[in-house]
Amino acid sequence: MELKDRFLKYVSYDTQSSEQSNTFPSTEKQKVLLAALADEMRTLGMTNVTMDRYGYVMGTIPATPGCENAPVIGFIAHVDTSPDMSGRDIKPRIIEEYDGGDIFLNGHLTMTVKDFPELSFFKGHTLIHTDGTTLLGADDKAGVAEIMSAAEYLLAHPELRHGKIRIGFTPDEEVGRGVDFFDVEAFGADFAYTVDGGMEGELEYENFNAASAKIEIQGRNVHPGYAKGKMINALDVACELQTLLPAEQRPQYTDGYEGFYHCVGVNGTVEHASVSYIIRDHDADLFEQKKVYMWACVDLLKKKYGQEVLTFTLKDQYFNMRKMVEPHPQLIDKALEAMREADVKPIVRPIRGGTDGARLSFMGLPCPNLFTGGMNFHGKFEYCSLTTMHKAMQVIINLARLWAE
């Protein structure tokens, strides 16, 4: 199957995950694509193909003769799409030889080069974009398609020497639970790569340290005409908390290695409100300082309004994988070489987010992240370059060979 056809097939599946669900995976519909992938892997000729009760799919491309002792390398991607926007009834549109101009999505929406200047890089590429009503699902079905197409190539070309390769597909990455039940021992790889990046050439082995915070605010509602000295407006307290946090440390004002506080949800009334934040920083010390500062802000409001008014829950989510990857420089060196062989200019930079690979690295499976060619993830402006997707597929094939040399 051609890479384009494979990608378009995968994005036709609605695999949106849910932050509200307590099940695993968070939505059963993810298992539909995962089961289809397991069947396709068997059809391609992979061995030891499994799908466990959590939905994790794993399979093996056996080593070619003489390469049985090479390190076992894994390639991993997630099938779920972001809860931020619908992934149902996606209607992909294809532009052959993109001219570098604005892209018309629908009668009300245009993706402009002014708003998205990276578009200029893709002039001459074949682009796949949305119709402006859903996300595309390149995050991370582009990675899934690239891994499967590379696997198909390797299985069809036994003359290309490589060691044992393990393939893994996961649910629920977008809600931060993607490897909660991932069996690293069963996967059996010495090292792995997630294929979940964006811009052509991205190679990432640094990511945010991450925490989530939830504040429950119990207000006191009184008739507004007689509220003086009595009312505690839970929504006002929520707004006050937001003003206590440094405005310059919000996502829209930060870049590179800079961390942030991000208010991702507010829900409530005068009587009760809930506020959700995520806290991010690449630097471990600054990350801890951010958490301590938020505690201090909540304590200040408790002293002002009463201890019982605010309830604060703070949870670490994942940590910067750099310290787990750096002891294995060959992981990065071989990825750089694989990119150069594919005529890709490497871009080594920190992930302003996280991947399954970050947590897997702390679970004993060092796991940097490779580009896919997808852009503008999680929204209606999402698109991907099929031209870059072919290069990502070639990088995977090159890595398979390089690890056996």
Reduced to 3 states (helix: H, G, I; strand: E, B; else coil), residue 307 is coil
Rounded Cα distance between 382 and 166, Å, is 29
Rounded Cα distance between 91 and 12, Å, is 8
Q: Which of 237, 345, 350, 249 is nearest to 293 (CA)?
A: 249
Rounded Cα distance between 220 and 39, Å, is 57
Asked if residues 261 and 250 have their Cβ atoms less than 8 Å apart, the reply is yes
* Alpha-helical runs (H) found in 210-283: 234-244
173 counts as catalytic:
yes
Asked if residues 17 and 171 have their Cβ atoms less than 8 Å apart, the reply is yes
Rounded Cα distance between 137 and 31, Å, is 16
CA atoms within 13 A on the CB side of 109: 13
Handedness of CA 114, 120, 123, 129 (dihedral sign): negative
* Catalytic residue, candidates 80, 139, 152, 281: 80
Q: Work out the burial of residue 170: count CB atoms within 10 Å of its CB; fewer than 13 is exposed, 13-18 middle, 19 or more buried.
A: buried
CA atoms within 13 A on the CB side of 244: 16
Element (H, E) at 59: strand 57-61
* Catalytic residue, candidates 173, 174, 206, 382: 173
Q: How far is CA 297 from the centre of its chain?
A: 30
Please, which residues bridge with residue 113 across strands?
none
Backbone angles phi, psi at 303, to 5 degrees: -65, -35
Asked if residues 59 and 51 have their Cβ atoms less than 8 Å apart, the reply is no
Give catalytic residue positions.
80, 173
